[in-house]
C-alpha cells in the first residue's frame, strides 16, 4: 500500500536486506520462569527458518504434534532470532539427540505453564544498514532521535500480508463468501491480513491528516477535511506529531484499560510522556469503537464481519534506541526494543521514507 510516513525528512538512500548477519532479534519473555513444573522451556536460536518451520523440525524429531509446542510470537525467517518455546518435560530425554543446522538450543528451564501466544514483553533488534553515506548517516541520526523522543506509527509490516502482499484480498473474499479455505491456520492468516490492511489504511489516513494540520490553516482545512474549524485549531495546538481526535479510543501503554479521549490536557501530556497511546480498530465483533470526530474517520475502515475484533496501538514508543555509523564500512548499525506485535521493518521504512521489501538494488 502507499503509506504516509510520520517523519518530515526526504528519502534516505541505503541498502537493507534481511539476513542472519544484518537482522538479529532477541525475544524478551513476559515473566521469569519458575525453575520447576511439568513444562520445559527452551531458549532457542534459529536462522533462515520461520518459527513454524523450527517447531515442525523439533516436533518431527520428537514424534509429536506441532501444537504441543508453545511459543510466544512468530519471528522472521530471514534473520538470526532467539526466542523461548515450551514442551512437556517428559520429552526431554529424546530431545538430547536433536540436531539441526538452523536451530541451536541455548539453554533450558522449567515452568508450570505452557508458553502461549503473546507471552512476551517485546523484542530487542540489531539491524545493519549498508551503503550509507556520511550525509545519509546524519539524516538517520536525526530520524532516530525523533523516533526516540516521540515514538512512531505502529503499522503492520509487509510480513503480515504474504510474499505477494495480497493475503488481505483472500481474507476479504473468505469473509464475503467468495472463497473457501479448508486449512484453518491459513484461513485465520488471510482474515487477520484483511483486518490488518484496513488498520493500515486508517493509520495512513490519520498521518496524512497530521501532515495537513502542519501545512494548512484551520480555515483552509475546514473546507478540505469537512471538520469544524474549532476542532482543527484544537488539534493543531497539540504538541505531539500524532494528533488526537475527540472520541479516539486511548489505551494505557504498554498495556491497560481503554477509554475515550475527551480533550483532557492531562491525557495529551500522558501521550507525550508515553503513558497512554491512541488505538486503531481491528474490525470485528465485540471491539470498542471510536466516537465523535474520531468515529467519522474510523467508520470508513470498519467492516461488519463475523469474527472478533480488537484494538491495536496506533502509536508505539521504541525503547533504548541506539545508532552507530561505521564510515569505513559505510554501515549504520541500529539497536532498539519494540513492544510485542510491532515490526522492526516498519521502523526502517519510517527512516527510509519508502518500502523496503523485495529490492535487489537497495534502498
303 is catalytic: no
Question: In angstroms, rounded to a whole number, what is the distance separating the alpha carbons of residues 158 and 343?
Answer: 9
Question: In angstroms, rounded to a whole number, what is the distance separating the alpha carbons of residues 335 and 320?
Answer: 7
Beta strand 310-313 pairing with 120-129: unpaired
Short-list 212, 198, 210, 100, CA closest to 152? 210
Count other C-beta atoms under 10 Å from residue 265's C-beta. 8
Pairs from 165-172 (Cβ < 8 Å, separation ≥ 24): 165/357, 167/193, 168/193, 168/194, 168/196, 168/197, 169/194, 171/195, 171/197
Question: In angstroms, rounded to a whole number, what is the distance separating the alpha carbons of residues 123 and 339?
Answer: 7
Question: In angstroms, rounded to a whole number, what is the distance separating the alpha carbons of residues 39 and 286?
Answer: 33
Cell 488539534 belongs to which residue? 235
Question: In angstroms, rounded to a whole number, what is the distance separating the alpha carbons of residues 87 and 356?
Answer: 36
Active-site residue, selected from the candidate residues 76, 109, 248, 267:
76
Catalytic residues: 76
Amino acid at each position: 500500500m502507499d503509506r504516509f510516513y510520520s517523519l518530515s525528512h526526504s528519502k534516505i538512500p541505503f541498502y537493507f536486506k534481511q539476513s542472519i548477519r544484518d537482522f538479529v532479534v532477541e525475544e524478551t519473555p513476559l515473566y521469569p520462569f519458575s525453575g520447576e513444573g511439568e513444562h520445559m522451556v527452551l531458549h532457542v536460536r534459529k536462522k533462515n527458518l520461520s518459527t513454524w518451520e523450527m517447531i515442525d523440525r523439533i516436533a518431527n524429531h520428537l514424534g509429536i504434534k506441532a501444537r504441543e509446542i508453545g511459543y510466544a510470537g512468530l519471528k522472521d525467517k530471514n534473520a538470526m532470532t532467539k526466542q523461548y518455546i515450551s514442551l512437556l518435560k517428559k520429552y526431554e530425554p529424546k530431545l538430547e539427540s536433536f540436531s539441526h543446522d538452523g536451530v541451536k538450543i541455548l539453554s533450558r528451564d522449567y515452568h508450570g505453564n505452557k508458553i502461549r501466544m503473546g507471552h512476551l514483553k517485546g523484542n530487542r533488534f540489531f539491524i545493519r544498514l549498508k551503503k550509507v553515506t556520511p550525509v545519509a548517516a546524519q539524516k538517520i541520526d536525526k530520524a532516530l532521535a525523533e523516533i526516540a523522543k516521540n515514538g512512531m506509527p505502529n503499522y503492520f509490516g509487509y510480513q503480515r500480508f504474504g510474499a505477494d502482499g495480497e493475503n488481505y484480498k483472500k481474507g476479504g473474499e473468505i469473509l464475503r463468501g467468495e472463497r473457501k479455505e479448508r486449512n484453518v491456520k491459513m484461513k485465520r492468516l488471510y482474515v487477520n491480513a484483511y483486518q490488518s490492511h484496513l488498520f493500515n489504511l486508517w493509520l495512513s489516513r490519520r498521518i496524512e491528516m497530521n501532515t495537513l494540520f502542519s501545512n494548512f490553516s484551520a480555515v483552509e482545512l475546514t473546507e478540505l477535511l469537512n471538520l469544524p474549524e474549532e476542532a482543527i485549531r484544537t488539534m493543531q495546538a497539540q504538541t505531539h506529531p500524532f494528533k488526537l481526535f475527540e472520541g479516539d479510543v486511548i489505551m494505557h501503554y504498554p498495556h491497560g484499560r481503554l477509554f475515550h479521549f475527551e480533550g483532557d490536557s492531562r491525557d495529551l501530556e500522558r501521550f507525550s510522556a508515553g503513558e497512554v497511546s491512541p488505538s486503531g480498530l481491528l474490525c470485528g465483533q465485540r471491539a470498542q469503537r471510536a466516537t465523535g470526530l474520531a468515529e467519522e474517520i474510523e467508520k470508513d475502515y470498519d467492516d461488519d464481519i463475523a469474527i472478533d475484533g480488537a484494538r491495536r496501538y496506533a502509536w508505539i514508543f521504541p525503547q533504548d534506541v541506539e545508532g552507530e555509523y561505521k564510515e569505513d564500512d559505510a554501515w549504520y548499525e541500529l539497536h532498539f526494543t519494540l513492544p510485542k506485535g510491532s515490526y522492526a521493518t516498519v521502523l526502517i521504512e519510517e527512516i527510509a521514507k519508502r518500502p523496503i521489501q523485495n529490492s535487489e538494488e537497495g534502498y
